[in-house]
Structure formats: C-alpha cells, structure tokens
Amino acid sequence: MSSQTLSTILFLVFVAATLGITFWASRQTKTAADYYAGGRSFSGAQNGLAIGGDYMSAASFLGIAGIIALSGYDGFLYSIGFLVAWLVALLLVAELMRNSGKFTMADVLAFRMSPRPVRTAAGVSTIVVSIFYLLAQMVGAGALVTLLLGVTSETGKALTIVGVGVLMIIYVVVGGMKGTTWVQIVKAVLLMGGATLVTLLVLGKYGFNLSSLLGDAAAKSGKGDAFLNAGGKYATEAQGLAGKLDLISLGLALVLGTAGLPHILIRFYTVPTAKDARKSVLWGIGIIGSFYLLTLVLGFGAAALVDSKAMDKAGNTAAPLLAKKIGEEIFGAVGGTVLLAIIAAVAFATILAVVAGLTLASSSSFAHDLYAHVFKRGNVTDKEEVLVARISAFVIGAFSIGLGILAQGQNVAFLVALAFAVAASGNLPAILYSLFWKDFNTAGATSAIYGGLVSALVLVVFSPVVSGSPTALFPDADFSWFPLSNPGLLSIPIGFLAGWIGTRLSKEHNAAKYAEIEVRALTGVGAEKAAEH
C-alpha cells in the first residue's frame, strides 16, 4: 500500500470519528450558550488542549519546521513570539474576559459603551481577522494536498478546498462550539503524539545529543555556523536596517496579536469559571511550548537528514519527508510509509480544526454582534440567534471556499501575519483599555478598532508583500512605499493612540458601568454560569 492511500485512510478515520462526535454534540446543543460556548462546561485541561488545537495551525506545524529546515534558527525565533504571546492572554485578558463577557469579544466592549457602534466595529474586525486567517489556511490546504498526496491538477486542488470547506461547515453548523472543541482536542492529541514520536526517533538517532544534531544540520545546510544563528530568513544582512525593523515589527505583532484573535478569545467562554480559564491557558502554554520545542528538533532534523532539494520552496514538506526518512532508517520501507502517512493525516486534521475555529468565531460574531444586537437591537430569541449563527457559518464557509479556490497558487502566507497585526493594532487596545482604563468610552473603542484595522490594512497594501517585489501578491506591479512587510511597528502604536485620542475627544463617561465591569471582572460576580444538562 502506498503512503498516499494509507494517509487517506487514516484521514478518513479522523473525519469519521470527528463527524461522529459532531453529531453527538449536536444533540446536546440546545441553547445559545451551548452553540456559542459549548455550554461553558469544558474542564480547564480540555479547553487547554482545544486552545492548542485551535492555535497550532498547519502554518506553525509544517511552516515553522520548514523555515528551520531551510533557513535554520529563524524558524525557532518565529515560534517564540507565538509562545510568549500567551502571557499577555493569561495575565491581562483571559480571566477578566471570562468574567465580564458572554459569547464574543464585543460583549466585553459593549458592557459599558454604546452597544451598537462598538459591536459594529468589533464585529467587522472579528470577521476581517478571521477571514484573512481562514483564507491563508484554505489556500494552504490546496498546496498541501499537492505535496502530500501527489494531487497536481487544478481540479484536484479545488476539490480538496471544497472538501475541507464542507467538513468545516458541518463541524460548525451541526456541532457548534461543543463539536468544534472536540475536533480541536482530538487534533491536538494527534499532533502532539505524531510530533513527539518523530522527535524521539530523530533524537534517538543522535544519541539524544542536541549539539551533535545541530552540528550535522549546520554542516548539511552548507551554511555552517550561520545556520544556527538569526538572519537566515528574517532581517538578512542584505536587507539592512529595514529588515531589522521588520523583524521587530513581526515580533511585536506576534506577541501582542494572540490576545486579540477572536477565535482564541471565544475559547475562554467555554469553561465554567475564570479559574478554569486560567487553568486552560496554563495547559495551553504547556502544550504550545512543548510543541514548538518539538518543531525545533523536527526542523533541524530535516535539515540534517533530508535533502533540501527534495523539499518544496517553502519547506512545508520538511516535516513529512523527515518522518518518511527516519521511519525508513529505523523500521525499513514500510516504517517510512506508515510514518509519512501519519504525519500527512495529522497535517490535514490540523487544518480542519483551525478552519472550524475560525468559521465559528466569525459566524458567532456576525449573529450575536451584528444581527442580534446591531440590526435587531437585542430583540431576538435564543433560537432565532442560533439559527442565524448557523446560516452565517454556512455562508462564511461557502464564501471562503470560493475565495480559497480563486486565490489558489497566490502567495497569501502574509495573511496570517496580517491577521496578527490587525488583532494587535485594533482589538488588543480596545480590550485592554476597556478592562483597565476608567475613562475609556465609545469614541475611544471605535477609534482604536478602526484606527488599528485601517492602518494595518493600508500599510500592508503599500508594502512589499503586495507589490514591488518578486514574491509579492502582484509581482508585476509596484505601488509600494512602506518598506516593511509587517505593519505592526506603526499600526500597533496607531491603534493605542487612536483609542486614547478618541476617548479624550468625547465627553461620554459611565462611572456606574465602569464600577460594574471592574468589580465583575476581578471578582466574578454575575459571571455567566455553566449550563446544566
């Protein structure tokens, strides 16, 4: 049996199991709290695994290992931003948000501000961030199927995107948050299991001596010691000062963006109390941190053991090829086939879990923020709201399938970094000000969100990732004037500043509501309770 067949079978087993869970979850999904927040009944450990499952995308699994395999140390540097970011979520956001919100990011903002303008702003920002991220994942799925299953025809790739999209729609529409969370839990376990297995085999080959693995990787890379130091991919010496500022800009967006990503924020609502939200982030940090340590070994292992000419340009096949190679060396040809199949199936499971989380976040925000509170001014029944949420999940899913097919073959990897930059520039200032700043008001919240969102988007449009460079989205055009590919260095301060100026220019202030959110956020009085089933 070929590894493609085996990996397709393994993947189908995953799909069958997760669909089973989804239909089971649908029978337990009755109220809005069930649909949006899984009845708030997940334990801290379960939600921690789901956080890992939601966060560790194929880009971070295959992508980071690939960057390390081809460019060395910089992939590790990249992964560290994704990890440290969780401290912002843990210390400043998770618990206070669990205590003061209900289903979406906007709930926290709407608490003490004029609900319609802030929900509109937060809803727009949620949908924009989630769709960017979603599009990058969908296009990635098309590319991945070519690499892993040998599908090269345009129709084959388009069918893969449709397949991924349809499954994602089923998970979200049928299973709601409960189904989606379980898909993420299963995926996190599989991903950690697969990555640990390959890591142990690679380390075992080097007698568990990291230094000798690194030495071998540096020698095979042809770059020597420079392979073990920064500058292989980001801020190369040739890029000069702009490259170095770009590195800082990327680092800032990563570390500040996570706590503003809507699909991450809604995970804090799935547990019964703020203390469980704390526990889930602790679990999440443990899992995500261990995972990035595994990718370090996978990346350098691939550099040492796999011929870089056999990999694709971005290095996405580094980890799968490493699995094949180490499997062959230790267990013979069959072992190589089996390990490759496992890692390929895990990669697909990874994509599915992440896209489902993104679809859920954007459709929840559309239904809860825009439909129920902006259009209907809160006059909707639970049942109607959940129905609208399901319909919008379907529409957003179908829309992203279409966009994913259209964008096939385009260089859209920058969309992930852009999603982080928008989250850090617009959402994070609004959330932090609203939890910690007494004077913050409606004008401040809308200014922060729109200011951060628009400045990040405008700077990216005029950056080298969109035009004026051979790797740009439009390589033949050149209308770029902003030298950095990551807007964060400018757009994050703009978002915070816009929030401050907006607040100062408006006289609105609601002391009673501030007292309420402050007391509730810190003590948990009146926090939404877990559903009783």
Partner 1 sequence: MTTRQHDASVYEQAQASERFQDLKRRFRAWTFPMTAAFLAWYLLYVVLSGWARDFMGTKVLGNINVALIFGFLQFVSTFGIAWAYSRHMDKKIDPIADEIRHEIEGRTE
Q: Residue 401: CB partners within 8 Å, gap ≥ 6?
A: 138, 161, 162, 165, 166
The residue whose two tokens read 């194929």 is 58
Minimum CB distance to partner 1, residue 210 (Å): 7
Q: Which residues, 6 or more positions from 394, have their beta carbon under 8 angstroms from its beta carbon?
A: 169, 173
Cα(89)–Cα(428) distance, rounded to whole angstroms?
A: 10
Q: Report the residue number, 293 or 403, with the smaller CB distance to partner 1.
A: 293
Q: How far is the CB of 394 from partner 1 (least distance, A)?
A: 29
User: Could you tell me how far CA 127 lies from the centroid of its own chain?
Assistant: 14
Residues 6+ apart with CB under 8 A from 169: 359, 393, 394, 397, 398
Please give the Cα distance from 46 to 49 (Å, whole number). 5
- Angle made by CA atoms 520, 522, 524, in degrees to the nearest 5: 50
Residue type at position 195: A
Residue 16 or 210: the one with the smaller Cβ distance to partner 1 is 210
CB of 153 to partner 1, least distance (A): 41
- Separation CA 464–CA 414 (nearest Å): 11
Taking the complex as a whole, how short is the minimal distance between the CB of residue 397 and partner 1, in angstroms?
31
Give the closest residue to 278 by CA, choosing from 104, 107, 100, 97.
97
Residue closer to partner 1, measured from CB, 4 or 114: 114
Cβ(253)–Cβ(421) under 8 Å? yes
CB of 526 to partner 1, least distance (A): 5
The count of other CB atoms within 10 Å of the CB of residue 219 is 14
- In angstroms, the CA 448 to CA 431 distance is 10
Cβ closest to partner 1, residue 232 vs residue 357: 232
Give 60's DSSP letter.
Answer: I
**Min separation Cβ 337 and partner 1, Å:** 32
Report H helices in 236-317: 240-257, 262-265, 274-305
Q: Give me the least distance between CB of 333 and partner 1, in Å please.
A: 32
Give the shortest CB-251-to-partner 1 separation in angstroms.
4
2 versus 209: smaller Cβ distance to partner 1: 209
User: Smallest distance from the beta carbon of 523 to partner 1, in angstroms?
Assistant: 4
Task: For the CB of residue 158, give the shortest distance to partner 1 in the complex, in Å.
Answer: 39
The residue among 155 and 211 lying less far from partner 1, judged by its C-beta, is 211
| Integer-rounded Cα radius of gyration of the chain | 23
CA atoms of 379 and 519, how far apart (whole Å): 28
Q: Which is nearer to partner 1, 150 or 224 (CB)?
A: 224
- How far apart, in whole angstroms, are the C-alpha atoms of residue 311 and residue 318? 6
Binding site for partner 1 (CB under 8 A): 73, 76-77, 80-81, 83-84, 86-88, 90-92, 95, 209-212, 214-215, 218, 225-226, 228-231, 235, 243-244, 247-248, 251-252, 255, 275, 278-279, 281-282, 285-286, 289, 292-293, 436, 511-513, 515-516, 518-520, 522-526, 528
Which residue's CB is nearer to partner 1, number 233 or number 390?
Answer: 233
For residue 129, count CB atoms less than 10 angstroms from its CB and return exposed for 0-12, middle for 13-18, buried for 19 or more.
Answer: buried
Nearer to partner 1, 230 or 403 (CB): 230
How far is the C-alpha of 26 from the C-alpha of 178, rounded, in Å? 8
